[in-house]
Amino acid sequence: MTTNEAECSVQTWVIHVDGSSTSHGSGVGVLLESPQGDKLMYSIKFQFPASNNEAEYEALVAGIKLAMSAGARSMVVHSDSQLVVNQLNGTYEAKKEKMNQYVTRVNKLLALLESYEIKQVPRENNEVADRLAKIASFWTNIDNRTITFLTISKEEAEKAGINIFCVEKEEPSRKQEIVNYLMHDGLPRDTVATRKLRIRAARFTIIDEELYKRGYSLPFLKCLIPSKEDYVLREIHEGICGNHLGGKALAAKM
């Protein structure tokens, strides 16, 4: 088997971020561009006061986190903040404690990536992120369905020195015995049950410690515990997606 090195390389996402602090409030704008050319726009409102420099750092953190949640492991981030970019590359010293906390927070996120680059760009080259940030700070004209509107309740600077470990107790489900088999080679004592499990598990795979079912001519299907399954169905049927579909159409969309 031969491989194409270019196809195996990590694909790079392009991110544009900007922060806005006004008398009406503060917020950030984020534009994500995937390697395939898809564009995702976010306006994020703060539920706390922030200076302009703090908003710029919040924008950077939000952009990195959103891109990572979409699967990005290599990215080029564009910001029009001279202070933020130069503090991160070491040209400027972060003298204030709050700025130091933001630098620490950003560096922790960047350490999780395979490659990254943070560039300072002129404001006119960051127009979309700037407009999204202004929408968030004023929180007006929320009728554009191509933009995702979010809120941030707590400053990222406060999280710089905190390590949070979340342990979610999963409900009993058929998924768990397949996970135990694939990850730990765990098998039932009963011979018939072992044979059935091996046959069933052949249709599944583990990616980043998550269980997926192999589909025919489809993306891998993520396996959920019952409570998560119910949540996804409700959101698609009557929540954020708002499509009142029939049973078969709803399952296909999910």
What pLDDT score does 166 carry?
47
Q: What is the mean pLDDT of the chain?
A: 81
pLDDT tens digits, 191-213:
888 888 888 888 888 887 788 88
Asked, for residue 179, whether it belongs to a domain, the answer is yes
Radius of gyration for the chain, computed over Cα atoms and rounded to the nearest angstrom: 22
One domain, residues 154 and 187 = no
Asked, for residue 126, whether it belongs to a domain, the answer is yes
User: Residue by residue, what is the 3-state secondary structure of 77-93?
Assistant: EEECCHHHHHHHCCCCC
One domain, residues 120 and 58 = yes
Of 24-38, 58-72, 183-197, the least confident: 183-197
Banded model confidence at residue 141, pLDDT cuts 50, 70, 90: very low
What pLDDT score does 181 carry?
83
Q: 7: which residues sit within 8 A by CB, 6+ positions away?
A: none
Helices (H) and strands (E) counted in the chain, each on its own, are 9, 9
One domain, residues 44 and 130 = yes
Of 95-109, 149-163, 237-251, the least confident: 149-163
Instruction: Look up residue 237 and give its amino acid.
Output: H
Asked, for residue 6, whether it belongs to a domain, the answer is no
Share of the chain above pLDDT 70, in %: 80
Q: 153 and 47 in contact (C-beta within 8 Å)?
A: yes
Structural domain count, the chain: 2
One domain, residues 20 and 135 = yes
One domain, residues 144 and 211 = no
Tell me how far apart the alpha carbons of residues 47 and 100 are, in angstroms, rounded to a whole number.
22
Res 61 pLDDT > 90: yes
What pLDDT score does 190 carry?
82
Angle formed at CA 79 by CA 145 and CA 61, multiple of 5 degrees: 70
Residue range of the domain that includes 18: 11-159
Res 5 pLDDT > 60: no
Res 127 pLDDT > 80: yes
One domain, residues 155 and 215 = no
DSSP string across 167-213:
---PPP-HHHHHHHHHHH----SSHHHHHHHHHHHTTEEEETTEEEE
pLDDT tens digits, 98-117:
899 999 999 999 999 999 99
Element containing residue 101 per DSSP (H, E): helix 97-110
